[in-house]
Amino acid sequence: MTDTTPADASAPAPARVRVSGDQPYDVVIGRHLLGELPSLLGDGVRRVLVVHPAALAATADVVHEDLKASGYEAFVAEVPDAEEAKTAQVAAFLWGVLGQADFTRSDAIVTVGGGATTDLGGFVAATWLRGIRVVHVPTTLLAMVDAAVGGKTGINTAEGKNLVGSFHPPAGVLCDLASLESLGRWDFVAGLAEVVKTGFIADERILELVEEHAEALREWGVRETTPETWAVVAELVERSVAVKARVVGEDLKESGLREILNYGHTLGHAVELTERYQWRHGAAVSVGMVFAAELARLAGKLDDDVVERHRTILGTLGLPLTYRGDRWEQLLSAMRRDKKSRGDLLRFVVLDDVARPTRLEGPDPTLLAAAYAEISADAPVGRGPVAL
Ligand SMILES: NC(=O)c1ccc[n+]([C@@H]2O[C@H](COP(=O)([O-])OP(=O)(O)OC[C@H]3O[C@@H](n4cnc5c(N)ncnc54)[C@H](O)[C@@H]3O)[C@@H](O)[C@H]2O)c1
């Protein structure tokens, strides 16, 4: 987002998606959106802390200068990159910055970065004085369509990922599509896995758009992005955010409907754990979705062609479809220990059809093993989209 400038008259009007609930907020999607920040921050804010990793320093500077020009007392704090940021030590560093700058209940945080930065900054906002406002400026595709929307915040501990956190909806989210220009190819493709997930659980038009433009999408950053591809990316972000907004608007705290967003994640999380988090999240979710589709097919719920559609779409994007055949027992015990499973009962989100998600509770172990056999491969998958 280094070319972020306020109010560009030539840019198309931004799209706005409203997230309803106790504390409704807007997700604004477009280009050159800085002028939107004050209205998202809302009335009464005097001090703002801009939190960012080194990779987004230039963008954070632009945001910082703009906030100062708009009359705020603005501060910047650089945090470590990616998961290194999601620690109690980094949260304590930010609490220190807020304390020394006398941040009160009516002040705010602005996060500029990927999902790791929005999770950390959101968590610090949730905990400072029991909750101050936060506006997220997500700069990865994954953060735009997933991490920054929905109010889940958190940090990791030595025992696992996202074990400490809070539900703290932002005051607003600013998705400046220009920031995606500098995103690496496979980070972009991994983000597309969550977009495709959203298509399968709720919006078939997303799948059609990805099918029609898969070649251009998988070449992100390799070739120059055409205006047509940019328009597709804008529509994919809008549609994905709209689905997430609808789901979390109804179920902020994962008591029911929100579970559908975990499509592909039960096995996906187990793959991530087995790979000691050296796989991209989207790559693991891709394998997890093919597994969930096979499980649904074997349970008599899903037609063969929808299962094949998973393989075609994800495969064309360059995402992995298989995982090591010798790892089943390890994956199974990881799934049993997952914080989202209830007791010993494994739960999967599966599909009856495109956009018709349902749950499969405690499936027969032979069914699970048979579904895994359908996705297991001896050969290691290509490293491109997979490894961090
Ligand atoms: N809260 C939620 O609901 C939720 C949902 C999904 C994921 N998450 C969390 O999100 C995190 C993953 O998010 P992510 O994939 O955005 O990873 P990330 O924040 O680690 O960013 C990935 C890498 O991209 C770099 N980067 C960010 N924006 C860039 C840009 N515009 N150009 C170039 N490089 C850029 C970052 O510096 C980092 O090195 C995980 O910690 C995960 O737990 C949270």
User: Which pLDDT band holds residue 5 (cuts at 50, 70, 90)?
Assistant: very low
Q: Which of 140, 243, 262, 281 to mutate to test the pocket of ligand 1 (most atoms within 8 A of CB)?
A: 140
Q: Which residues line ligand 1 (CB under 6 A)?
A: 53, 55-56, 81-83, 86, 113-117, 119, 139-140, 142-143, 146-147, 150, 152, 162, 179, 182-183, 187, 281
pLDDT digit string, tens, across residues 335-368: 998 766 666 689 999 999 999 999 999 999 999 9
Q: Say how far apart CA 2 and CA 54 lie, in whole Å.
A: 13
pLDDT of residue 10: 56
| Nearest protein CA to atom 16 of ligand 1, as residue | 114
Q: Say how far apart CA 285 and CA 145 lie, in whole Å.
A: 15
pLDDT of residue 11: 63
- Residue 264 pLDDT > 50, yes or no? yes
- Residue 284 pLDDT > 80, yes or no? yes
pLDDT digit string, tens, across residues 90-147: 999 999 999 999 999 999 999 999 999 999 999 999 999 999 999 999 999 999 999 9
Q: Which of 3, 52, 79, 119 to mutate to test the pocket of ligand 1 (most atoms within 8 A of CB)?
A: 119
| Nearest protein CA to atom 33 of ligand 1, as residue | 183
In angstroms, what is the span from residue 86 Cα to ligand 1's centroid? Answer: 11
In angstroms, what is the span from residue 144 Cα to ligand 1's centroid? Answer: 9
pLDDT of residue 386: 76
381: which residues sit within 8 A by CB, 6+ positions away?
Answer: 320, 322, 323
pLDDT of residue 305: 98
pLDDT of residue 384: 60
pLDDT of residue 388: 66
The mean pLDDT value for 283-312 works out to 98
- Residue 380 pLDDT > 80, yes or no? no
Backbone angles phi, psi at 275, to 5 degrees: -90, 10
The mean pLDDT value for 360-383 works out to 86
The mean pLDDT value for 323-335 works out to 95
The mean pLDDT value for 40-67 works out to 97
In angstroms, what is the span from residue 14 Cα to ligand 1's centroid? Answer: 23
The mean pLDDT value for 296-316 works out to 98
- Name which residue leads in pLDDT, 124 or 5: 124
In angstroms, what is the span from residue 114 Cα to ligand 1's centroid? Answer: 3
User: Which pLDDT band holds residue 332 (cuts at 50, 70, 90)?
Assistant: very high
Q: Which of 1, 27, 142 to mutate to test the pocket of ligand 1 (most atoms within 8 A of CB)?
A: 142
- Residue 2 pLDDT > 70, yes or no? no
User: Which pLDDT band holds residue 6 (cuts at 50, 70, 90)?
Assistant: very low
- Residue 258 pLDDT > 80, yes or no? yes
User: Which pLDDT band holds residue 179 (cuts at 50, 70, 90)?
Assistant: very high
Strands 133-138 and 376-377: unpaired
Contacts 24+ apart (CB under 8 A), 354-363: 354/199, 354/200, 354/204, 354/207, 354/306, 354/309, 355/200, 355/201, 355/202, 355/203, 355/204, 357/201, 357/202, 357/260, 357/263, 358/301, 359/259, 360/295, 360/296, 360/299, 360/301, 363/295, 363/299
The mean pLDDT value for 158-168 works out to 94
Mean pLDDT value across the chain? 93
Q: Which of 1, 86, 136, 187 to mutate to test the pocket of ligand 1 (most atoms within 8 A of CB)?
A: 187
Q: What percent of the chain has pLDDT over 70?
A: 93
pLDDT of residue 25: 97
pLDDT of residue 382: 54
pLDDT of residue 63: 97
The mean pLDDT value for 85-94 works out to 98
pLDDT digit string, tens, across residues 201-237: 999 999 999 999 999 999 998 989 999 999 999 999 9
